[in-house]
Amino acid sequence: MLSLEERKIALTLARDSISYYLVNLQLLPILAKSWNQESSLEQELGCFVTLHKNGNLRGCIGSIEGYEALYLNIVKNAVNAGFSDPRFPSLREEELHELTLEISVMGKLEQVHKLEDIEVGIHGLIAEQGGRRGLLLPQVPIEQGWDRKEFIQYTCHKAGLSFDAYLDSKTRFYSFTAEVFGEE
């Protein structure tokens, strides 16, 4: 979906958004665009921005679907990952040089009818039941060394459901692919 140049711009936008927010406590204004109107950055795509500090998760926030241009989602989700992820305290300026950023641009959601169709490392997964919803990105089971069953179980757990909620016919699953790239 995104060219190498668009990926570089996206990562720069994410990092600049975090730095700008630290100083100004507001979102980075986009005064001039270095890309054209046909760019993937202009498409209405969801994305997640993941922050790692010294190889450990430091924040991850995103939007499953895009209701505005991808570049706007990147700006907002980068700030939210750094300052609104309830699992972590807000970023401090001295942490910036220790961060590496990763962006996952979301593909289309598809309902899963057979759990054996889920491919670890290819699909991200959403579990839903009774107003609860949990999402794990495609790279998570690889990073954690999980097999398909563990991936499904932990997605249920992320939704606030029991690990065996996948056995309940009321639990719905949706898969998606994501284009994942990050800072080297």
Last residue of a domain, one of 89, 106, 123: 106
**Are 95 and 22 within one domain?**
yes
**Are 99 and 16 within one domain?**
yes
What pLDDT is stored for residue 155 in this prediction? 98
Angle at 36 between CA 21 and CA 11, to 5 degrees: 35
The parent domain of residue 35 ranges over 4-106
**Nearest alpha-carbon partner for 15 in 65, 77, 66:** 77
Q: Is the pTM of this model over 0.75?
A: yes
- CATH of residue 169's domain is 3.30.1490.150
Listed in order, strand segments (DSSP E) in the chain are 47-53, 56-63, 99-106, 110-111, 124-129, 132-136, 172-176, 178-182
**Are 72 and 16 within one domain?**
yes
Type of residue found at 37: Q
**Are 97 and 115 within one domain?**
no
Q: Is 119 helix (H, G, I), strand (E, B) or coil?
A: coil
pLDDT tens-place string over residues 107-165: 999 999 999 999 999 999 999 999 999 999 999 999 999 999 999 999 999 999 999 99
